[in-house]
Structure 1
Amino acid sequence: MTSEDNRFESDPDDALPEDPGLPDGWVVEAPDGADDATVARLTELLRGHERAGRGWAGSSAEAVLVEVSERGLATRENLVVRDPDGRVQAWGSVHDRAEGRMLLVHVVDRAIDERIADRCSDVLFAWAEAQARAVGAARGLAEQQIDTGAFADDERQHGWLEDAGFRRVRTWWQMSRSVEADEAELVPDPARWERRGVVFRRVERDGGPDSGGMPVEADLRAVHDVLEGAFTDHFNSAEETFQEFIHRLREDPGHRWDHWWIAEIVDGDGGVPEPAGALVGTVSESATGPDGSYVSYLGVLESARGRGVATGLLRTIIADAAARGRDRVGLEVDADSPTGADGLYTSMGWGTKYVTESWHKDVTVR
């Protein structure tokens, strides 16, 4: 995908009123993702937002580049608000995540005057609504959802969201599990192992597992198909094409092809393996200690549930993390999910580290 695929309005002046209501000398513009100083300031803003919302910062410049780099702009658009000294004090980013679903990053500096912060927030929301109408129109939709997140304890963000017409729709537990070195023996080999007719294996690579080649497309499509099928009835599920799926996951700074696993059911001797589960993992890098692993996606087809597929995939990523010298595995779970997935995670040693929320607003497309 390229920036030519972008469905957003790229000129901020065309997405905002002539007078957006900011104080004299304050300006809005699209940030330059190639400018190191701008990226550093956006990273500082995002980390301050995280510290205020959950007590600690975790984002890096790599996370910001996902939003503002040339590659990111294939499916995103960004806006910054600068004060009279040229310093970025607010940042918004919209992501054309899937048909009918647009993600919003909304960050305002915590140190500026409260009234000016309110105006910056209003500008970001007005711009996001204009972008929702643009992307919705490009996709031929009558209504476009804006999906944004907030930390459970961030009252300032909650107030802004409520005032802008957003509603709190879901709560998410951000869970973590420590990993011990001896847990490398949890499974015979994270690359491939079998239990009760289920084969757990990494996606195959062109030229073999150690070649460094690209994954076999058939395996990537199998992962995509399993996850699409597994999450059909889940909260806010939106169909995503194979190309959108691969592009988005490769943007993650922690993306590694050798963190993708497939679970296949093989019934009887000579049976054809049928993909039944998939796990997409990433690397959670740390500047102060060992890295961790993260479960970005874990899905099991309904027809295969009850056969230990999810447990086997989780044991696989734990063993893989231990073999790599990592000290933790993280994941996100829907606190309101009817599947009871949190019970499985708790039984396997995961505990909640912090809590986030999803807030939505539906925008009529004109």
Structure 2
Amino acid sequence: MIPEQSRFETDPEEILEELPFPEGWEVDTPDASDPAVVARLHHLLRAHERHGRGWAGASMDDVLVEVSEHGLLTRENVIVRDNEGVIQAWGSVHDRASGRMLYSHVVSRELSAPLAKKCSDVLFEWAEGQARAVGEKRGLPEQQIDTGSFEDDDRQSSWLQMAGFRKVRTWWQMSRPVDLGEERSLVPDPDEWEAKGVRFRLVDREGGALPDEGDLHAVHDVLEAAFVDHFNSFEESFAEFLHRLREDPGHRWNHWWLAELVADVPDGVAAPEGRHPAVGALIGTVSENVSGPDSSYVSYIGVVEAARGRGVAKGLLRTVIADAAKRGRTSVGLEVDATSSTGANDLYSHMGWKTRYVTCSWHKDVPVAE
């Protein structure tokens, strides 16, 4: 459930007792109402991306998701300022689900190596303190910190190793071009179509208002069931799920699809009275591009085990491609586990997706009691 108050420690000085910096350096929390602060964080994040993968994609909205007052029930931030008041490092934590805390770690590329390492050490110390705080509030003996790096970012990888993190997974960040002419008709209508006993449709909305709550629960239930045996799966409540996805700058209700069985329903697949059983779901978002057409992105796609092998995943992917073509978008992106046991990476490659860059997941389990 979404807490009424943050589970994090809001004062960084309660965690960081001694600072290893030159005189005049300090730690602080960012003021999201100050345009200069947001602009500097945006600059640091984009420089981090350019160094790690060769180009920057972060928008101002991506920064505001982390630091704005709206998100601070489930997020907390810290910054390091030099003796001239310039922000040189930024850490962000996200209370994602019980037992799983996401962590972002950004240090200026303009600092000398010794100063950059000191900033890194302070951010890690703060993140571990936050892990203990949120874990204690959730009543856990141990709290996982889940963070990431670009595969080719040697500085970040070495810092993570020295801080006691272990690399646990590799992810392919894939993209697929969209043929705006031919692929508009890839499916009869991306809003709703049917094939081989499976109906693919947008979640119901009346008069452009919020979606039908039953459909939203169906999407959540399908994804929870589809990923229960997947790597690092943590149960996420319906309220946490909706709150988090609606924070995404690219969130659009008209990018949420369900796949329902309307014929040949196998044993063990049930549905609420008056509804067809939902067996697949896809949540898409918009990736805005200031220098060209926007792209679509597959944030989540899942199929329940009992319905696999019936073309549900392929049908959902064809739907989001046709929708992108209809909207004039020239590509569709997604992320896949490089060691996926479901064969998802083979399906994506077969349907035209290619890897643009690679990221890695790093974990550290922090005992809640000191």
2:256 maps to: 260
| Helix, strand or coil at the partner of 1:204 | coil
**Equivalents in 1 of 2:102, 2:194: separation in Å?**
39
**Equivalents in 2 of 1:300, 1:250: separation in Å?**
22
Aligned 8 A contact 1:104 1:148 in 2 = yes
| Helix, strand or coil at the partner of 2:245 | helix
Query: Aligned residues: percent identity?
Result: 66
1:251 maps to: 247
**Equivalents in 2 of 1:61, 1:343: separation in Å?**
35
**Equivalents in 2 of 1:240, 1:22: separation in Å?**
39
- Give unmatched runs, 5+ long, in structure 2: 266-273
Q: What is the TM-score when the length of structure 1 is the normalising length? A: 0.97
| Helix, strand or coil at the partner of 2:104 | strand
**Equivalents in 1 of 2:120, 2:264: separation in Å?**
60
Is 1:179 the counterpart of 2:175? The answer is: no
Is 1:203 the counterpart of 2:203? The answer is: yes
Aligned 8 A contact 1:149 1:358 in 2 = yes
- Offset of residue 3 of structure 1: 7.7
Deviations for 1:142-201, whole angstroms, at most 9, x for unmatched residues? 000000000000000011000000000000000000001120100000110000000000
2:280 to 277, 280, 285: 277
What do you get for the CA RMSD once the two structures are aligned?
1.4
1:23 corresponds to which letter in structure 2?
P
- Offset of residue 72 of structure 1: 1.3
1:47 maps to: 46
1:213 maps to: 209
| Helix, strand or coil at the partner of 2:72 | helix
2:71 maps to: 72
4+ aligned runs moved over 6 Å, structure 1? none
- Offset of residue 272 of structure 1: 5.0
**Equivalents in 2 of 1:198, 1:34: separation in Å?**
48
Aligned 8 A contact 1:9 1:131 in 2 = yes
Deviations for 1:37-69, whole angstroms, at most 9, x for unmatched residues? 100000000000000100100001100000000
2:56 maps to: 57
Aligned 8 A contact 2:2 2:240 in 1 = no
Is 1:229 the counterpart of 2:235? The answer is: no
Aligned 8 A contact 1:3 1:70 in 2 = no
- Offset of residue 268 of structure 1: 5.8
Aligned 8 A contact 1:2 1:71 in 2 = no
Q: What is the count of residue pairs matched by the alignment?
A: 361
1:9 maps to: 9
- Offset of residue 80 of structure 1: 0.1
Aligned 8 A contact 2:2 2:239 in 1 = no
Q: How does 1:147-158 map to 2 (within 5 A)?
A: 147-158=146-157
**Equivalents in 2 of 1:64, 1:9: separation in Å?**
20
1:316 maps to: 319
**Equivalents in 1 of 2:208, 2:58: separation in Å?**
28
**Equivalents in 2 of 1:266, 1:13: separation in Å?**
58
Aligned 8 A contact 1:266 1:272 in 2 = no
1:240 maps to: 236
Q: How does 1:121-132 map to 2 (within 5 A)?
A: 121-132=120-131
- Give unmatched runs, 5+ long, in structure 1: none
2:6 corresponds to which letter in structure 1?
N
- Offset of residue 4 of structure 1: 3.9
- Offset of residue 226 of structure 1: 0.2
**Equivalents in 2 of 1:152, 1:237: separation in Å?**
22
Q: What is the TM-score when the length of structure 2 is the normalising length? A: 0.96
- Offset of residue 33 of structure 1: 1.1
Aligned 8 A contact 1:30 1:78 in 2 = yes
Aligned 8 A contact 1:3 1:71 in 2 = no
Aligned 8 A contact 2:250 2:286 in 1 = yes
Aligned 8 A contact 2:203 2:256 in 1 = yes
1:295 maps to: 298
| Helix, strand or coil at the partner of 1:360 | strand
1:356 maps to: 359
**Equivalents in 2 of 1:87, 1:24: separation in Å?**
14
- Offset of residue 5 of structure 1: 2.9
